[in-house]
Amino acid sequence: MNTTVTQDLSLLYLISSASLPVQLVMGLLLFISFISWWFIFRKLFVIRRAIKQCDEFEEIFWRGADLNTLYQRAANARHSTGSMERIFEAGFREFAKHQSDADISAVMDGTRRAMRATYQREMDKLESHLSFLATVGSVSPYIGLFGTVWGIMNSFRSLANVTQATISHVAPGIAEALIATAMGLFAAIPAVIAYNRYASDVDQLATRFESFMDELSNVLQRRAAE
Amino acid sequence: MSAMVLRNSSYDEPGYFLAGVLAILIHVFFVAFMVFGLDWKTQPPEGMIVDLWSDLPQQAEPSPPIPQKMEPSKPTPTPTPRPIQAEPLPPRIKPSSPPPPTKPEIAREAETEKLKPVKEELPIQEVKKEREKEREKEKEREKEREKEKEKEREKEREKVEAERLQREQALQQKREQEALTQQREARQAAAQARMANEVDKYKAMILAKIRSRIIMPPDLPGNPTVEYRVTLLPGGDILEVSLRKSSGFAVFDSAVERAIFLSKPLPLPPDPALFSQFRNLSITVHYRE
């Protein structure tokens, strides 16, 4: 009686007394959770910087700066340029190379292709690891559930040997098994939230890039026609 | 193309390691919160122990004061007789010391008081001396006896007082306990009365609800009475309605039965403990109130 009343149910005790599969599941979940939080912060910094750079470049571009100086600036500071600036740089380089050609539509096609290629690459970079967050968000609850089911199975199997079953026989086993579910949810919830947030942010950026590409090709076409 | 690849590889991600540090910090905080923030240990209810022992200390407390009172009173009588005993003793020994041969006899006399002086025929002087001594001794003995008696009397008085105290305390305790039991009984009675009140109230409500749903058949002679037995479910649902005593008019009986079913969620007290009183209801409806 006394032992059940004052039973020490600390978290560490529960984890250390769990069965090996449950412990493995817990370890896996902890690792997944760590990686997903790492990506969450990395993507946070990356996307925030991308939005900031995009804002800055759009402001400079639409203030009516000279395209040549803009290109020079973008080409010189390659390592610190944003995605939109890089799209502009690729398109303008292609346009400048074939500016003297007679066929304007062929020049514009090449420019658009070059911009689209850079756009795809930039989008790829922005969207990288987002699928991982989505996977963590959808899968880690199941992993945690697996650990919980396994732990509860074991605790009920050990109950089979007891003639008089009380809740105190099963309770610690279930508690330690439920920790696995808690860890799965701890990994999943931030991952899902971050995925949704970042996906919408990247979508917004993609529309901005696309509209910028269209506008830039218009500007370049006008410039070629002059 | 090579320039592109070079640029891509040198694409420096902001906060690459900062993100890792932040992730570690979040996990450390979470684990620390789980381990130290939550109270995982179950604590036995200690308040119960205090309640259980509330009566005993009162009984235990009165007993210590009695010995405390006895102790200070005891030393007062004991020191007083001792000095008196010690004072008369030296004179008794001093007069007996001049005649050395008689000394053992006197010692013997102290043991056997009256027999020796009669049996032993000694010179008159000695006899007189002995008689005087005996008288002195007897006086001393009487004094001692009186002292002892006084002591005993004091002891008895103390005893009586202690007994009286104990009796008073016992009486007080009895009175307190009686008061407690009376209070408890009063409380129980009040609770029962309240419950009975509640039960009556809800029974009246049930009857009123059923009455309001009855479509009375017109023009029945006299005041027919019908009695139904209604079995209820928790929540006020009706499980079964059975006719116990017909009124003699099938129209009235069926009207009442319909009304009982119509007033389906019957009003029940919110306290589930009272439901047992409503499980089997007997409902009596008079044609005229």
B7 near A CB under 8 A: yes
SS (H, E, C) A26-93: HHHHHHHHHHHHHHHHHHHHHHHHHHHHHHHHHHHHHCCCCHHHHHHHHHHCHHHCCHHHHHHHHHHH
Q: Which residues pair with B232 in a beta bridge?
A: B238
pLDDT at position B289, please? 73
pLDDT at position B88, please? 47
| Interface touch B15/A37, C-beta < 8 Å | no
pLDDT band at residue B279 using 50, 70 and 90 as cut-offs: confident
pLDDT at position A8, please? 57
Top pLDDT among B262 and B44 is at B262
A9 near B CB under 8 A: yes
The ipTM value here is 0.76
Eight-state DSSP code of residue B13: P
Which residue of chain A comes nearest to B4, CA vs CA? A118
| Interface touch A39/B20, C-beta < 8 Å | no
- Residues in chain B with CB shorter than 8 Å from the CB of A45 are 13-15, 18-19
| Interface touch A125/B11, C-beta < 8 Å | yes
Domain residues of chain A, as ranges?
Answer: 12-225
pLDDT band at residue B43 using 50, 70 and 90 as cut-offs: low
Nearest-CA distance from B273 to chain A in Å? 26
Given a cut of 50, whether residue B130 has pLDDT beyond it is yes
Top pLDDT among B264 and A9 is at B264
pLDDT at position B69, please? 46
How high does pLDDT run on average in chain B? 73
Interface test with A, best of B10, B13, B46 (most A CBs within 10 A): B13
A24: left (phi over 0), alpha (psi -120 to 50) or beta: alpha
Q: How far apart are CA B168 and CA B173, in angstroms?
A: 8
Given a cut of 70, whether residue A125 has pLDDT beyond it is yes
Of A45, A79, A125, the CB nearest to B14: A45
pLDDT at position B72, please? 47
- Going by C-alpha positions, the residue among A220, A201, A173, A211 that lies closest to residue A51 is A201
Q: A104-127 and A167-225 are packed helices; what angle lies between their axes, rounded to 10 degrees?
A: 160
| Interface touch B7/A78, C-beta < 8 Å | yes
The β-bridge relationship of strands B238-245 and B280-286 is: unpaired
Q: How far apart are CA B79 and CA A26, in angstroms?
A: 83
- Going by C-alpha positions, the residue among A53, A55, A177, A50 that lies closest to residue A122 is A50
Percentage of the residues of chain B whose pLDDT score is greater than 90: 11
Name the burial class of residue B98, with classes exposed (0-12), middle (13-18) and buried (19+) by CB atoms within 10 angstroms of its CB: exposed
Top pLDDT among A138 and A177 is at A138
Contact between A24 and B48 (Cβ < 8 Å): no
Location of structure tokens 């040198």: B10
Given a cut of 70, whether residue B105 has pLDDT beyond it is no
How much is the average pLDDT of B269-282?
A: 80
How high does pLDDT run on average in chain A? 87
| Interface touch B42/A125, C-beta < 8 Å | no
- Going by C-alpha positions, the residue among B118, B138, B68, B11 that lies closest to residue A118 is B11
In this predicted model, what pLDDT tens digit does every residue of A152-205 receive, in sequence order?
888 888 777 777 777 777 787 888 888 899 999 999 999 999 999 999 999 999
List the 23-62 stretch of B: residues with Cβ below 8 A of A. 23-24, 26-27, 30, 34-35, 38, 40-42, 44
Longest CA span, chain B = 158
Q: Which residues pair with B226 in a beta bridge?
A: B285
pLDDT at position B246, please? 86
Interface test with A, best of B11, B38, B43, B49 (most A CBs within 10 A): B11
Q: How far apart are CA B189 and CA B181, in angstroms?
A: 12
A1 near B CB under 8 A: no
